Each structure stands twice: as structure tokens, then as C-alpha cells.
Amino acid sequence: MLRHMSLMVILLLLLPALRAEEKDFILVIDAGHGGKDPGARGSLINEKVINLSVALKLGNLISENHDNIKVIYTRKTDRFIGLDERANIANRSKADLFISIHANAIEKARHISGTETFILGLASSDENLEVAKRENSAILLEENYQQKYENFDPNSSESYIIFGFMQNGHMEQSIQFASEIQKSFKGAKRNDRGVKQAGLLVLRKTGMPGVLIELGFITNGEEERYMKSVDGQNKLAKAIYEAFRVYIHKYYVKQNAATDSSKTPSKKNETKAETTRKPSAAASSAPETTSPAAEPSKKAVIYKIQILTSKKKLPANSRQFKGYKNVGFYEENGLYKYTYGESSDLASIKATCKKIQKDFKDAFIIAFKDGKKMK
């Protein structure tokens, strides 16, 4: 009996911890190269060191600001990992997005500087092909690389022809994310060399939207110093983070919403969605690190009951609503959060919450002020 009791206590103590592990969005951050593979060599620093540093800074920014996003790194230390294993990590963890971080090099033209973001495809210029060759040649350091990569020769232009025939279902989202990254780099005063395509092996094997970022040219003295500096690394990580935030708010949800709403075209539903979306749009444009709700305001607080969260937009007649009508929603961190009821009277909303907890046992009350969700 006592043993059963203590087991129960342990289980109860574990429950919140297990719950906290349930994340809604999984991001894999891949710091290029590592270990015996230094990547491009600079005169002050090697590429692998810059990549890892920016990758960890990016991951920290995301983890600090988003409770529901799980960040997985392909490496957190200076170690060697094969390109296919990097993709496997992302595939195994069922990631929603893959970001590979690299630094560029061009020995012949050391004056060249700037950022580029690659998506998978056939290189449209020799310059882009050279990037793919350099990044893919990391496989030459892997054991049995001929077998693993089906005799793909990273240095032969012919082996890249296959990328012209490849279909990638995640192309659109990858382009959208890549464009946001370049926009953000430009905003951070980096030279924007644009979104490009190339036959990058690490992107070929990943089954989700993905990009490969070239932070800058290690062969350019000024840019190398910038990428080596803590300040430079912080700014680069911040720029990618800002683009990531835009992506999950603007595109990640919308993609899913577009597929879902096409199944249930309902005008009434649409107008409702628009009105409920407005406050969340305002909330999402404010940086999450600040707390606008703490500011004094004469406007009333509106209480709602959150009943469930979904990655995808649910149709109005979804079974998940258990027959409840007039379910509203707001978007947060790339998720649809469904609410029931709306009142400025906390007592009445508390009573409603208690009632519906028999159907939605995890229902809880949230508050909005000036259209922004309060902490």
C-alpha cells in the first residue's frame, strides 16, 4: 500500500514535467561542419566556430522567448557529423523547420562580402554551384561516403543535374522563410546577396521546409572580423531570429490555414476569423520580451476561456469543439488557440469555465487588454 502511494506521488510529481516536454513546433538548428571538418578557413577563425556560435545564440533567443518551441541542435560542441546524419536528426525528430548555418568563402575575389540564403534546387549560376560543391565536399570526410551518397561526387558538375528533376513539397515555405531571412539581414545593415538555389545535400534529405544560410564571407577581412566578434554574432543571430518570428506568424500558420479552410468554405466563419485575428496580430507585432499589459490603461480587460490549441486551423464544425458553438481563436507563436466565451466580468467567466471544464478539463481563463493577451 505504502509502495503504491509513493509511486502515485512520484507519478504526480512527474506529470507537469512530462507535460512541459510537449512542444508545439520543432526547430532543428544545424551548425555547419565541426570536428575534423573546419569548413572554410579564414585567417583569424574557421567557419565551424562561427557557425556553432551563431547557432547556439539563435537557439537561445528562441528558447528564451517561446515556451512552446522545441529547439534541437545537430551539434552543440565542436564535433564532426555527416551531412546525412544532420538530415536524419531533423527527420527523426519530425521537425517543422530546418536551419543550417554556414559561412561563405571565395578565394579569388576577397572583396566580395554579404549574406545569402539557399534553398534546395538546381544552381542557376556557377557561383551558386561553387557554394554547393564546397558545402557538399564535407561528405568526403565521411566513411563509406560513396555508398552512403550513391556515388554522388560533390566536385563534379554532372552529379548536380539530378537536382533539376527533384520535387520538393516544401519549396514555397522554404522560399518564404529564406526571403524573410534576407530581408532581416538587410535590415541589420548586412549586404543582401539574395535568396539562391543550389544542390545542397543536407537540404535534399530533410523532409521539411529548410534553408542554408551563408552568414558572410570569411575570405573578406572585414566580414571575417565581424563574424568573429561577439557583437557581430549576436546581430546575425538576432536577424535570423526576427525572420523566424515573422515566418511562424505569417507563413507557418497561414499555410495550414489555407489547406484547412479550403475544405470548409464558410463566409460566416471567415468574418469571425478576421475579427478574432486582429487582436492577435497586434499582439504578435509587439516584442514578446516586453510586457505591454503592465502599462496602465483605461480600457477594460476582456476574459476568455482557452479550451484547446492546434497547429492547424480547425473547421467551425470540428469534432474537437465537442458541439460548442461560437468558438473563437487567436494566433500565438504559430499556433491556433481556441477560446470560448467572452466577458469583462471575471466572476461570470469563472462560472462558465467551471461548467465547461467537464468537457474541456484543461480549460483555463486568459485575459486580453487593448486587444493584447496579458501574461
Q: Which is nearer to Zn ion, 41 or 94 (CB)?
A: 41
SS (HEC) of 113-168: CCEEEEEECCCCCHHHHHHHHHHHHHHHHCCCHHHHCCCCCCCCHHHHHHHHCCCC
Q: Which is nearer to Zn ion, 152 or 324 (CB)?
A: 152
Q: Give SS3 for 289.
A: coil
Confirm or reject binding of residue 199 to Zn ion (CB under 5 A): no
The size of the interface with Zn ion (CB under 5 A), counted in residues, is 4
Helix, strand, coil shares of the chain as percentages rounded to 5? 45, 20, 35
Q: Distance from CA of residue 302 to its chain's centroid?
A: 31
Cβ–Cβ under 8 Å, residues 195 and 211: no
Q: Which is nearer to Zn ion, 57 or 102 (CB)?
A: 102
Q: Which is nearer to Zn ion, 33 or 313 (CB)?
A: 33
Give the nearest distance from C-beta 200 to Zn ion in angstroms.
10
Where in 33-72 is the site for Zn ion (CB under 5 A)?
A: 39
Where in 344-363 is the site for Zn ion (CB under 5 A)?
A: none
Q: Which is nearer to Zn ion, 215 or 363 (CB)?
A: 215
Q: Which is nearer to Zn ion, 142 or 331 (CB)?
A: 142
Give the nearest distance from C-beta 33 to Zn ion in angstroms.
5
Give the nearest distance from C-beta 132 to Zn ion in angstroms.
11
Give the nearest distance from C-beta 81 to Zn ion in angstroms.
13
Q: Can you tell me the distance from the alpha carbon of 193 to that of 259, in angstroms, rounded to the nearest whole number?
A: 33
Task: State which H helix or E strand residue 364 sits in.
Answer: strand 364-369
Give the nearest distance from C-beta 134 to Zn ion in angstroms.
7
Binding track, positions 96-115, relative to Zn ion; x by CB under 5 A: ------x-------------
Stretch that binds Zn ion, among 19-27, 31-39, 258-266, 336-344 (CB under 5 A): 31-39
Confirm or reject binding of residue 32 to Zn ion (CB under 5 A): yes
Where in 108-167 is the site for Zn ion (CB under 5 A)?
A: 135
Give the nearest distance from C-beta 325 to Zn ion in angstroms.
54
Q: Report DSSP letters for 217-253, one per residue.
A: ETTSHHHHHHHHSHHHHHHHHHHHHHHHHHIIIIIIH
Q: Can you tell me the distance from the alpha carbon of 304 to that of 341, in angstroms, rounded to the nearest whole number?
A: 5
Q: Which is nearer to Zn ion, 32 or 199 (CB)?
A: 32
Place of cell 471567415: 270
Strands 192-198 and 115-120: parallel
Stretch that binds Zn ion, among 15-23, 27-35, 266-274, 311-319 (CB under 5 A): 27-35
Give the nearest distance from C-beta 39 to Zn ion in angstroms.
4
Q: Report DSSP letters for 295-363, one per residue.
A: S--SSPEEEEEEEEEESSPPPTT-GGGTT--S-EEEEETTEEEEEEEEES-HHHHHHHHHHHTTT-TT-
Phi, psi of 304 (to 5 degrees): -135, 165
Q: Which is nearer to Zn ion, 39 or 216 (CB)?
A: 39
Stretch that binds Zn ion, among 9-17, 29-37, 69-77, 114-122 (CB under 5 A): 29-37
Confirm or reject binding of residue 216 to Zn ion (CB under 5 A): no
119 CB neighbour count, 10 Å cutoff: 25
Q: Which residues bind Zn ion (CB under 5 A)?
A: 32, 39, 102, 135
